């Protein structure tokens, strides 16, 4: 499976990359606006393919994408990939408002494409204190 990761901020770096990179059969492709971060993480995790523009992920043949970009970009990015039929995993919150959530939901349903919203409760202090 070829998985595109868009946005390489703290959540992606700490909650996802250390684990995803250990999965057998998963090839990663990175896309982020920070070329320094992208190059550093690609070297650290031995990722051979990186894209400076998220649209390039389609050309690389990704099977699914994970969106960890700024919340303000979630809707635009998710719509792009859902419209292309790519299963899409979006870090929470899915959108800034309920109307945009409805738009993404309806698009995913109409295209028959999975849309997932991430919520990793294990990283929150209230969870680890239980």
pLDDT at 86 over 80: yes
Higher pLDDT: 120 or 14? It is 14
Long-range contacts of residues 111-114, Cβ cutoff 8 Å, at least 24 apart: 111/82, 111/83, 111/85, 113/82, 113/85, 113/86, 113/87, 113/88, 114/87, 114/88
What the chain holds in terms of domains, given with CATH numbers, is: 2-128 (3.40.50.720)
Q: What does the pLDDT look like over 33-44, one tens digit per residue?
A: 878 888 888 888
Q: What does the pLDDT look like over 96-110, one tens digit per residue?
A: 999 999 999 999 999
HEC profile of the chain: CEEEEECCCHHHHHHHHHHHCCCCCCEEEEECCCHHHHHHHHHHCCCCEEECCCCHHHHCCCCEEEECCCHHHHHHHHHHHHHCCCCEEEECCCCCCHHHHHHHHHHHHHHCCCEEEECCHHHCHHHHCC
Q: What is the structure's pLDDT at 37?
A: 83
Q: In whole angstroms, what separates CA 41 from the centre of its chain?
A: 15
Percent share of the chain, pLDDT over 90: 57
Q: How confident is the model at residue 126 (pLDDT cuts 50, 70, 90)?
A: low
């Amino acid at each position: 499976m070829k998985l595109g990761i868009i946005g390489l901020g703290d959540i992606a770096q700490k909650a996802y990359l250390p684990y995803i990179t250990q999965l057998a059969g998963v090839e990663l492709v990175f896309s982020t606006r920070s070329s320094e971060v992208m190059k550093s993480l690609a070297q650290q995790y031995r990722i051979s393919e990186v894209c400076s523009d998220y649209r390039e992920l389609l050309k690389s043949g990704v099977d699914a994408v994970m969106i960890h970009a700024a919340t303000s970009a979630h809707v635009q990015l998710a719509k792009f990939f859902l419209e292309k039929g790519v299963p899409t995993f979006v870090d929470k919150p899915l959108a800034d408002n309920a109307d945009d959530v409805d738009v993404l939901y309806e698009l995913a349903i109409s295209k028959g494409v999975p849309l997932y919203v991430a919520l990793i409760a294990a990283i929150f202090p209230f969870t680890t204190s239980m």
